[in-house]
Structure 1
Amino acid sequence: MVRSAALTGTLLVLVYTALISSADAITKLLAGGYAAPQLYFVSGLLVVAMALTADRVKRGPRQGLRTTCPRAMALRSVMTVISVTCYFYAFRLLPFAEVFVFIGLVPLLAGLLSGPVLGEHVRAPAWLALGAGFVGVLCLFPEGIHGIGPGHIIAFAASVSGTLSMVISRFIGRHEANTLAQVFYPNLSLACVMGLALPFVWVPMPLIDFGWAVAYAGVLFAGRWILVIALSKLAAYAVTPLMNLQFVWMVILGAVVFGEVPGAHIYLGVAIVIASGTYLVYDRLAADRRELRATAIPAE
């Protein structure tokens, strides 16, 4: 049963990486012509409508979209708004594959945040892995630290807030099985917040761009729902390293759609970040096995 859940969770994460990379590509495609509030107001409302439709189809007279963790859900919603906004501007300011180096930090940050949020002990190797990940990020700047720009700072803020949102999702998943609620409330919050700024930034959208916005909402809805389900079946520290497959999709989409070819220093940074995240997972699983052996009751 445990192995079946782990396999299902793994497959769901792999599907998620393809969907979310497609959503990121659409974000980068539209980021040059529209402000973040316009894109996320439209897409947020569309995702909310999809969540309501899916809930009506699946539930009948059941719980609906109520949540038993309102405070955690509110914090997750805030972190989601911050994360998607920061990623929007990171994609506007940085090459597609370069943003991934910061996405690749998510497994390391998840390992650290799991301690205070989920009550999981953070071992010394987690700090060593984070240090290695920091070295990987430094590979983005072969000319030195002075090469750091606003895009890099924004991308880092996006990865921190996005990781916290995912860890909180794992926390909520421990207390309720209503996965659609975790899609509905963050996107409702996103639409409401962006709607406040919408009158100041709105520009007419041609039909083709509105179609891209609808496509973005569709893949985002599917991706976020799938991720919430995956996080209910796998621990956050096991889910996030699988998300490194995004780099493959982002390199392909960056080259085919945007004509961006990453330099060797990008590949080096990604390799270090992925290796450090993979080691963190290995160490965490080894620690779990040791704890199980220590608490096992000897057979008489």
Structure 2
Amino acid sequence: MSDVVLSRSAPDRRVSYGLMLMVLSVLISPVIDVFAKLAIATVPSAEITAVRFLLQVVFILPVVLYRRTLLDLTWKKSALHALRGGLLVLTMLSFITTLKVMEVADAIAIFFVEPIILTILGSIFLKETIGWRRYTACAVGFFGAMLVIQPSMQEVGPIALLPIVAAFTLAVFLLLTRMVAQNEDPWSMQFHAGIWGCLFCLVLLAFGQGTGSSIVDPVWPEGRVWLYLWGVGVAATVSGVLGVYAYRAAPASVLAPLQYLEIVSATILGWLVFGDLPDALKWLGIAIIIGSGLYIIWRERRLQKTAGTPPVSPAI
């Protein structure tokens, strides 16, 4: 009897560990956006993205050297890391460019189609079982995000579509992360993604120099802008490593809805840094988002506890 209990509780603890790491990752993630919005007033988005990856590589290099995983990759793995790095560059460029004309919470609200995209991609390509309850919770969380901030195409124009582009590229990136994380060292994964991200950004900046583009024409940062760039790099590294470990411990379909919690810290930081105080409707949206995330955690734990018995319905 004790062996049966242990066999059930071990996966349960592993998923709970993944959920905890994911919560920490998404709560830290908006710090990246706040520093990026402060920096983009004078620095192009490609340069902010390049510094983000450069600092990630610098911070992680001692770790991978200590773990002796720096050169532990085949050409196939190298191609996957290059693809992951390219997807991250597209995600960062799209989202940071949006922040120049939109508030952080506005951009994140639109960006929150990403967990839905990831959930669907996880069920299609990773064959993960998604019941109607989690799909419903995901939709409810998305509705809550829209209540927090109502993005308007009339206010900012077509640039409001860029967070959707960022959402799709990040969903594909996370899907690839889930596919390779089981057999890869998380620190090594972040390091190689950072190397490829740096290379792609340097190419863009080289071709963009002198063009006057607010996206790819490099400038020399001055004053406190250096602090903003360092903030982007540190926050991105911490959030990224936590995310990799989370996806190594739990299914993507379980973790994806928890990303809605990011809107909570984004709203709080937006108020503290930029003075954007949520109104009653936004607080209602935050409550819905939190409720959706808590339901996902409760539902997953319940399914784990009954994993040894046949499900009542395959749709659950």
| Short-chain TM bin | 0.7 to 0.9
What is the letter of the counterpart of residue 170 of structure 1?
A: R
Alpha-carbon displacement from aligned partner over 1:185-205 (angstroms, at most 9, x marks no partner): 322222122212323412221
Q: Within the alignment, does 1:219 sit opposite 2:219 as a pair?
A: no
Look up the match of 1:109: 117
Does 188-197 or 266-275 show the bigger shift? 266-275
Structure 1 distance, partners of 2:38, 2:119, is 32
CA RMSD, Structure 1 to Structure 2 (Å): 3.2
Does 259-268 or 281-290 show the bigger shift? 281-290
What is the letter of the counterpart of residue 19 of structure 2?
A: T
User: Once the 2 structures are TM-superposed, how far is the Cα of residue 105 of structure 1 from its aligned partner?
Assistant: 2.9
Residues 94 and 163, structure 2, Cα contact 8 Å, conserved in 1: yes
Residues 264 and 286, structure 2, Cα contact 8 Å, conserved in 1: no
Residues 12 and 305, structure 2, Cα contact 8 Å, conserved in 1: no
User: Once the 2 structures are TM-superposed, how far is the Cα of residue 43 of structure 1 from its aligned partner?
Assistant: 2.4
CA distance 1:222–1:133, shift in 2 (3 Å): closer
Structure 2 distance, partners of 1:73, 1:210, is 28
Q: Within the alignment, does 1:87 sit opposite 2:95 as a pair?
A: yes
Look up the match of 1:66: 73
Alpha-carbon displacement from aligned partner over 1:113-150 (angstroms, at most 9, x marks no partner): 112331235556676667656656765559x8756733
User: Once the 2 structures are TM-superposed, how far is the Cα of residue 254 of structure 1 from its aligned partner?
Assistant: 0.6
User: Once the 2 structures are TM-superposed, how far is the Cα of residue 234 of structure 1 from its aligned partner?
Assistant: 1.2
Q: Within the alignment, does 1:149 sit opposite 2:157 as a pair?
A: yes
Alpha-carbon displacement from aligned partner over 1:10-40 (angstroms, at most 9, x marks no partner): 3322321333222221111112211111112
What is the letter of the counterpart of residue 244 of structure 1?
A: Y
Look up the match of 2:47: 38
Alpha-carbon displacement from aligned partner over 1:140-182 (angstroms, at most 9, x marks no partner): 559x8756733421111111211221121111113x1321232
CA distance 1:132–1:243, shift in 2 (3 Å): closer
Look up the match of 1:298: none
User: Once the 2 structures are TM-superposed, how far is the Cα of residue 268 of structure 1 from its aligned partner?
Assistant: 5.2
Structure 2 distance, partners of 1:284, 1:164, is 23
What is the letter of the counterpart of residue 247 of structure 2?
A: L
2:204 to 182, 189, 197: 197
What is the letter of the counterpart of residue 183 of structure 1?
A: Q
CA distance 1:288–1:197, shift in 2 (3 Å): same
CA distance 1:126–1:4, shift in 2 (3 Å): closer
Residues 108 and 277, structure 1, Cα contact 8 Å, conserved in 2: no
Please give the residue correspondences for 1:1-300 in structure 2 after superposition, counting only pairs within 5 Å.
Answer: 1-59=10-68, 62=69, 64-66=71-73, 69-121=77-129, 140-141=149-150, 149-174=157-182, 176-198=183-205, 199-200=209-210, 201-267=217-283, 293-294=309-310
Unaligned runs of 5+ in 2: 1-9, 211-216, 312-316
Structure 2 distance, partners of 1:156, 1:51, is 30
Residues 96 and 260, structure 1, Cα contact 8 Å, conserved in 2: no
Residues 101 and 270, structure 1, Cα contact 8 Å, conserved in 2: no
What is the letter of the counterpart of residue 259 of structure 1?
A: G
Q: Percent identity?
A: 19
The TM-score normalised by the length of structure 2 is: 0.77
